[in-house]
Amino acid sequence: MSISVDWSDLPPELLETIAKKLNIHKDYVRFRAVCLAWRSATPRIPKHLPCQLPWLMLPRKTDQNPQSNTRNFFNVYDDKVHLIDLPEDSDSHRRCGSSYGWLVILEETPSISIVNPLTQAKHHLPPLSSFPNVTSFEPSEIGKEYTLKTSEGEVYTCNSKEMRDSFIKKAIFSSSPSNENIDYYALAILNQTGDLAYCKKGDDCWKFIEDANSFCEDVVFHKGCFYAVSKHGTIAICDITGASPNVSYIETPRQVCGDMQYLVIWKDELLLVTRYMEVKFYMDQNKMIIRSGIMTVLMGFMIWVFMTWKIVA
């Protein structure tokens, strides 16, 4: 004799326990889609999911409706493209970083938002007007809303669009903002000055790391510290967990003629990657040849990763 089971009658406490065992976002979405009872027993925005990387945010299609907020995300794990509604992707916004699955969003206001495209969770970092080199923000001063001061004391102004587009080069986190029980730090590279600025979850303003100016090529978080690299490959180790930042340095073989320095975490090791590019344009053939190469330095050992030729018609 078979017993009929109505899965929608499972106790909410049991459904919640099962849902917390799901570690992949699409499995969690499918779980909530089973029926109304299962959806009601679980929160729309899960807080237990680990970072769902790697996903690549693809550029807008040329024929895409400019009013559309839908973006394509490529999941390397299952080789599929997922469409996600992202209201923060309007033309008035700029993305200046991604970390632990969160996007850092700037707009033509002082606001700095962080958004998780998968869960739609949204928080705010201290505003642009709270950086140490921003002396004032006057929205009524059209075209020169921000007043800034250089390290030499010179005063200049920027408009809201300039601040959105060029003030911050990159921003990352020390841990996922999804975990409400852990305080995270955010670190930003400033474009024009090369300063590193940081804040802690809940802070009202940004602070500079005074001994790490010009380490502005790239930054990663590794083993409890932020690592930033200079144009010539020297690395600054920034511990900002104390009362004031503590900075030490790693001297690597000097990188000359490189176009860009990158820091990469690979198998729990810190890699310094230097990109070299040589561009030649041939008028008679109407084509440009780009010769590119990448050199990796692992704690003082040089490794040439690859050298390729690419033809751009």
Total number of domains in the chain: 2
Give yes or no: residues 93 and 123 share one domain: yes
State pLDDT tens for residues 167-199.
999 999 999 898 888 899 999 999 989 999 999
Please give the backbone phi and psi of residue 8, each rounded to the nearest 5 degrees, phi first.
-70, -10
Is pLDDT of 313 > 70? no
Confidence of residue 126 (pLDDT cuts 50, 70, 90): very high
| Cα 187 versus chain centre, distance | 10
Determine the Cα–Cα distance for residues 32 and 38; give it in Å rounded to an integer: 5
Give yes or no: residues 132 and 38 share one domain: no
Is pLDDT of 232 > 80? yes
Contacts of 187 (CB under 8 A, 6+ apart): 171, 172, 173, 174, 196, 197, 198, 219, 221, 226, 238, 240
The answer to whether the beta carbons of residues 310 and 301 sit under 8 Å apart is no
- How far is CA 92 from each of CA 29, 83, 166, 180, rounded to the nearest angstrom? 30, 21, 14, 29
Domain that holds residue 75: 51-173+191-197
Q: Which residue did the predictor score with more confidence, 243 or 306?
A: 243
Give yes or no: residues 169 and 67 share one domain: yes
Determine the Cα–Cα distance for residues 298 and 178; give it in Å rounded to an integer: 31
Confidence of residue 27 (pLDDT cuts 50, 70, 90): confident
Give yes or no: residues 55 and 43 share one domain: no
Computed on alpha carbons and rounded to an integer, the radius of gyration of the chain in Å comes to 23
The percent of residues in the chain predicted with pLDDT above 70, rounded, is: 85
Position 86 scores a pLDDT of 85
Structure tokens at 24: 């992949």
SS3 32: helix
Position 104 scores a pLDDT of 96
Determine the Cα–Cα distance for residues 19 and 44; give it in Å rounded to an integer: 11
Confidence of residue 8 (pLDDT cuts 50, 70, 90): confident
Answer whether residue 256 is part of any domain: no
Give yes or no: residues 41 and 117 share one domain: no
Q: Mean pLDDT across the stretch 114-129?
A: 91
Is pLDDT of 312 > 50? no
Determine the Cα–Cα distance for residues 5 and 21; give it in Å rounded to an integer: 22
Q: Which residue did the predictor score with more confidence, 3 or 75?
A: 75
Contacts of 111 (CB under 8 A, 6+ apart): 124, 127, 128
Answer whether residue 275 is part of any domain: no
Greatest extent of the chain over all pairs of C-alpha atoms, in Å: 87
Determine the Cα–Cα distance for residues 66 and 151; give it in Å rounded to an integer: 40
Give yes or no: residues 38 and 140 share one domain: no
Answer whether residue 72 is part of any domain: yes
Give yes or no: residues 55 and 169 share one domain: yes
Answer whether residue 257 is part of any domain: no
Last residue of some domain: 197, 212, 233? 197
Answer whether residue 17 is part of any domain: yes
Give yes or no: residues 119 and 99 share one domain: yes
Position 298 scores a pLDDT of 47
Give yes or no: residues 63 and 156 share one domain: yes
The percent of residues in the chain predicted with pLDDT above 90, rounded, is: 43
Give yes or no: residues 43 and 103 share one domain: no
Position 302 scores a pLDDT of 43
Confidence of residue 53 (pLDDT cuts 50, 70, 90): low
Give yes or no: residues 61 and 157 share one domain: yes
Position 28 scores a pLDDT of 86
Q: Mean pLDDT across the stretch 20-46?
A: 86
CA angle, 209 as apex, 204 and 214 as ends, to 5°?
130
State pLDDT tens for residues 252-291.
888 777 788 999 888 788 888 888 766 665 555 555 555 5
Position 301 scores a pLDDT of 42
Give yes or no: residues 28 and 115 share one domain: no
Is pLDDT of 137 > 90? yes
Closest CA to 50 of 221, 201, 175: 175
Is pLDDT of 85 > 70? yes
The answer to whether the beta carbons of residues 215 and 168 sit under 8 Å apart is no
Position 307 scores a pLDDT of 44
Determine the Cα–Cα distance for residues 139 and 98; give it in Å rounded to an integer: 28
Answer whether residue 62 is part of any domain: yes
The answer to whether the beta carbons of residues 250 and 237 sit under 8 Å apart is yes
Q: Mean pLDDT across the stretch 3-25?
A: 84
Determine the Cα–Cα distance for residues 235 and 171; give it in Å rounded to an integer: 17
Please give the backbone phi and psi of residue 27, each rounded to the nearest 5 degrees, phi first.
-65, -40
CA end-to-end span of the chain: 72
Position 136 scores a pLDDT of 95
Determine the Cα–Cα distance for residues 19 and 9; give it in Å rounded to an integer: 16
Position 303 scores a pLDDT of 44
Answer whether residue 232 is part of any domain: no
pLDDT, the chain, mean? 84
Question: Which amino acid appears at position 175 of this protein?
Answer: S
Is pLDDT of 4 > 80? no
Position 187 scores a pLDDT of 98
Answer whether residue 304 is part of any domain: no
